[in-house]
Structure 1
Amino acid sequence: MKKNLGLILGLLIIMSSINLAVAEEELLFEGYLNKGDSILVGPLVVVLQDVRKDYVENEYKAMILIMKDIKVLNMGYASLEVPNPDKIQELLTNTTFLYAMAETLGYNTTNPIELAQF
């Protein structure tokens, strides 16, 4: 009984600290994740499990999975902010941005063949 109570108390403490981090609205990771990708945040592994369109609320939601030591601590859908399509189109026509993105992804921008593959 004490072991179960301790486990539940431990999970509640971990869950409350995760909710506090979300409530502060600080960015833990700035970048893009594909479905199935994961990032390491301290001892926790955060996995983007699935992305779906919620037609009732007209927004995209992501299934976020939080794990520690291969055990699931928390799992749930969270709303995603969809980028402005006009801004995306503007960035895709900006050659400086495209060169910077190609370099970030590891492409050799001085090699025309690699740049064309990007």
Structure 2
Amino acid sequence: MKLFNLVCATSLLITGSVSAADFVAADNSRATQVCMSVVKNNKIHLHNTIKENHLRTRVVEEKLHCNDMPIGKFATTYGFNKAADFLGIDRSVETSIKDIAKVDQKTIFVSGSK
């Protein structure tokens, strides 16, 4: 029982550390709305946002940049894995080490490509 409680507490701490940064929209453009939808890390919300803005998923995957990064790199850099999966980003070929305890910036302003 103590081991179970320890595992649960550890998983809650790790989850809290990953989402320690606040993402704030820099403007209200369509591109920024899609980038903020990636931040929500919800496939259905991302799909609906793309459709509401009359965009195609392929165009978003190939041309949209969030914070001067291609949308796929943006999603994988910040650990938005569900959004990356929806966008068809293959994360299995890229290896990276993330320091989840280190947070350089608590508020990250998100802007889409113009």
| Shared fold, TM over 0.5 | no
Q: Which has the higher strand share?
A: 1
Q: Which has the higher helix share?
A: 2
Q: Which has the larger radius of gyration?
A: 1
